[in-house]
């Protein structure tokens, strides 16, 4: 019986690609740090030889696993998925692999999955939002790994963050509807208990209304899971009251689209009888008829900037501690002045 074929080594790849072993290693672990022509030769040599870098050995040698962890509420949301896609693409181009975990808006679950990622030796961590258990921050501090909060800005200044001010964005939507003449408001939003983004959007709407001496009655604040059916249920509950609203602000586009679907089912014309707005500016928002009035923010840029932030920290480069992204109100056909009394 012939002896087992010896596995190809990194030196074999380097020899075939006609580069040094150090250059071959750099091309396979940090592709952005080598010239494109060199990278192509090394990758082609590795493909021909069937060479796969030994991750554990590389991690021992460099004290890096070249993995980044991200902990998000759920993947059942197009905006979260878009952000993670942009994050993954930027990290991949720098030679890093993204490990993803979800916590379904449960604080204890977030601590658990973060602990698991840290145990796997991730080099950096992305967290969505600014509201996190103190135990989670303690674990990050103990491991001394770079991290960044994405999607929202940490106004305390204690944590690095990339995002926008949700409260101010929600105020823009409310001010738009107020300027149209609306005085009877309602909100359909996600559960606020473990979601500071939802809380801040509710707070922003209340602030805008209070500035015009208008109250938002508790019975007109409907908290639901982020789902189309929830938007329908919320709208149905609001319109069954003694004094239905003329403007419904939804904390994301999914809820808004569900609310509009229920309006159609009930024969309530939008925006002639009721105005509905969303938040996120999903691709479908502009394709609806009428188009959905919503708040746009650059989801792709958010993911890329979160990656840039961690990569800079890992390289020892200075980073902007608090990076605010612009938002833009997209006024479309689902909002109009209220019907005459």
In the numeric block, which tokens belong to residue 298?
């650059």
| Strand duo 161-164 + 67-72: pairing | unpaired
For residue 94, give its domain range. 65-165+298-326
Nearest to 154 by CA among 166, 138, 169, 139: 166
Predicted pLDDT of residue 3:
37
Backbone angles phi, psi at 286, to 5 degrees: -85, -10
Q: What share of the chain is helix, strand, coil (3-state, %, to 5)?
A: 45, 15, 40
Predicted pLDDT of residue 56:
46
Predicted pLDDT of residue 156:
86
The low-confidence residues of the chain, meaning pLDDT below 50, are: 1-5, 55-56, 60
Predicted pLDDT of residue 63:
59
3-state secondary structure of 15: helix
**Which CATH number fits the domain that encloses residue 197?**
3.40.50.2300
**Which CATH number fits the domain that encloses residue 56?**
1.10.260.40
Predicted pLDDT of residue 60:
45
Predicted pLDDT of residue 32:
74
pLDDT tens string 303-326: 999 999 999 999 889 888 999 999
Nearest to 256 by CA among 144, 152, 333: 333
Distance of CA 310 to CAs 69, 75, 124, 201, 264, Å? 11, 22, 6, 27, 46
Q: What's the total number of domains in the chain?
A: 3
Contacts of 5 (CB under 8 A, 6+ apart): none
Does pTM surpass 0.85? no
With contact defined as beta carbons under 8 Å apart, do 148 and 137 qualify? no
Predicted pLDDT of residue 25:
83
Nearest to 258 by CA among 225, 220, 283, 287: 225
Do 32 and 71 belong to one domain?
Answer: no
Do 305 and 250 belong to one domain?
Answer: no
| Strand duo 247-250 + 275-277: pairing | parallel
pLDDT tens string 242-265: 889 999 999 999 999 999 999 999
- Give kind and range of the element (H or E) at residue 186: strand 185-189
3-state secondary structure of 323: strand
Do 134 and 216 belong to one domain?
Answer: no
In the numeric block, which tokens belong to residue 59?
């991690």
- Give kind and range of the element (H or E) at residue 235: helix 228-239
Do 289 and 218 belong to one domain?
Answer: yes
């Amino acid at each position: 019986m012939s002896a087992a074929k010896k596995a190809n080594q990194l030196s074999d790849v380097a020899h075939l690609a006609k580069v040094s072993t150090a250059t071959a290693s750099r091309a396979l672990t940090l592709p952005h740090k080598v010239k494109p022509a060199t990278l192509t030769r090394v990758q082609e040599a590795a493909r021909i030889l069937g060479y796969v870098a030994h991750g554990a050995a590389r991690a021992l040698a460099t004290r890096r696993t070249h993995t980044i962890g991200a902990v998000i509420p759920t993947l059942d949301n197009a905006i979260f998925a878009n952000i993670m896609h942009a994050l993954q693409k930027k990290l991949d181009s720098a030679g890093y692999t993204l490990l993803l975990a979800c916590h379904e808006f449960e604080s204890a679950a977030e601590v658990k999955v973060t602990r698991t990622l840290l145990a796997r030796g991730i080099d950096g961590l992305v967290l969505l939002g600014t509201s996190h258990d103190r135990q989670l921050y303690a674990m990050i501090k103990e491991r001394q790994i770079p991290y960044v909060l994405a999607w929202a800005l940490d106004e305390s200044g204690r944590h690095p963050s990339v995002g926008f001010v949700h409260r101010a964005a929600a105020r823009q939507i409310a001010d738009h509807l107020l300027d149209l003449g609306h005085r009877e408001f309602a909100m359909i939003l996600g559960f606020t208990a473990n979601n500071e983004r939802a809380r801040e959007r509710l707070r922003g709407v209340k602030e805008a209304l209070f500035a015009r001496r208008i109250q938002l009655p508790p019975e007109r604040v409907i908290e639901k899971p982020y789902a189309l059916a929830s938007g329908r249920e919320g709208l149905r509950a609001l319109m069954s009251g003694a004094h239905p609203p003329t403007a419904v602000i939804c904390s994301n586009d999914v809820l808004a689209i569900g609310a509009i679907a229920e309006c159609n089912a009930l024969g309530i014309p939008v925006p002639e009888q009721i105005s509905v707005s969303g938040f996120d500016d999903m691709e479908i928002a502009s394709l609806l008829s009428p188009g959905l009035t919503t708040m746009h923010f650059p989801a792709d840029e958010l993911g890329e900037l979160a990656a840039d932030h961690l990569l800079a920290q890992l390289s020892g480069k200075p980073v902007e501690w608090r990076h605010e992204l612009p938002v833009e109100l997209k006024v479309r056909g689902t909002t109009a002045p209220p019907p005459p009394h």
